[in-house]
Chain A
């Protein structure tokens, strides 16, 4: 119960037993709404803190682990707000990984699954390139800090598994023609070509544009995959 001084209800309601009961009923009735509102605001703050962290990592790759003060300033909250929601910056990284995994799933649904070979390759490559473009900065932070933050390791594994699952969906016709061992090796090779760490050097070291990077991947995958079986 809040202290009396904090009670802003009309005095009559605070005194009369019936009115007290009504007021109590009102309190009970309105509590979930208020709690939900508080929770929603708190969740929103949490999300803004995560987004501020991700934006800082993306904007300034020379500083892969921004400080709490930098994150707070970017998010427009106090440092205290951050630590009320995350026990430490490691947990914030873990939350950012979860947020990005969810975002990647939402922004990159499989498209053209039943398309012809070229349509599927193009669709898969463009989706993957978009994911890598948005996520490479965080991916590097995760890889660099996974050693010290145990909770990050399963997230990295899940991200990789999702990539392989997507490859299996998109190239099912071609992969189905291979014996099990060759199929496994093909998936490993495709994943290697399509990794965040492969996208980044194409853009940063070789200076390829987004479209040029996609073209490298498209040609490579087309050469790597076995012939598409007749429908």
Chain B
């Protein structure tokens, strides 16, 4: 008697899942290599790290550029899932700490990839679009976390303040504190918390003040 044969759809799903896992392994390898050296790795390096053949890479991605974009999107999705807004209704100090610690973890984890994206954005419009999206998300989070304070100033001041907060909590700002100034994770968070606290206007009485 023949061994039972799995239904065709199950076989296809299994193949798809394996292929998806390989795809993910390739992007994980890409990110891991970037963390070690902030330069776009070669297909051969990615293949070795992922434990697949170079051919496997190009079966799933048309070229390195497509792989780079897919990896950025993949990283962005992971990053988004890790930065759930917490303590949105907390008092000022709680919101400050919560926002800064979340942002700091994101910067700590994704700075190498961010640098590669920024350094290559001039050559690839799609990367520029993604940079704008990430900045937009960062700004929206700032608006959410400091809604009481930002809501207390006029539109022009609010815009200026948002821009200042965004550039302060930028990836490169974090990178400099850690790499150039040699601050620990906690010290760097302290600098951001203190600076944001000084930049923000007073919390209105009904706005979760401390």
Contact = CB atoms under 8 A, between A and B. Distances in A.
Given A61-B122, A188-B177, A224-B195, A198 B167 contact: yes
Contact of B122 (A62, A202, A205, A217): A62
Interface residues of A, number: 32
B12 interface: no
Interface string B139-177: 000000000000000000100110110111010110011
Contacts of A9: none
B119 A144 contact: yes
Interface in A27-63: 61-63
Which of B160, B168, B194: most chain A Cβ within 10 A?
Answer: B160
B181 interface: yes
A216 B158 CA distance: 10
A135 interface: no
B37 interface: yes
B163 A216 contact: yes
B39 A147 contact: yes
A193 B167 contact: yes
Interface string A133-146: 00000001001100
A147 B112 CA distance: 12
Contacts of A205: 131-132, 135
Contacts of B180: 157, 160
Contact of B164 (A62, A197, A220): A220
Interface in A200-231: 201-202, 205-206, 208, 215-217, 219-220, 223-224
Which of A140, A195, A198, A217: most chain B Cβ within 10 A?
Answer: A198
A213 to B, nearest CB: 9
Contacts of A192: 167-168, 170, 173, 176-177, 195
Nearest to A225: B198
A63 B198 CA distance: 39
B176 A62 contact: no
Nearest to A220: B164
Given A61-B122, A216-B160, A219-B164, A198 B173 contact: yes
15 contacts: A144-B119, A157-B180, A185-B191, A188-B191, A189-B191, A189-B192, A189-B195, A191-B176, A192-B167, A201-B135, A201-B167, A205-B132, A206-B163, A216-B160, A219-B164
Interface of B: 37-39, 119, 122-123, 131-132, 135, 157, 160-161, 163-164, 166-168, 170, 172-173, 176-177, 180-181, 183, 187, 190-192, 194-195, 198-199
Which 6 pairs between the two chains have the least Cβ-Cβ distance? A198-B167, A192-B173, A220-B164, A189-B195, A144-B119, A197-B172
Interface of A: 61-64, 140, 143-144, 147, 157, 160, 182, 185, 188-189, 191-193, 195, 197-198, 201-202, 205-206, 208, 215-217, 219-220, 223-224
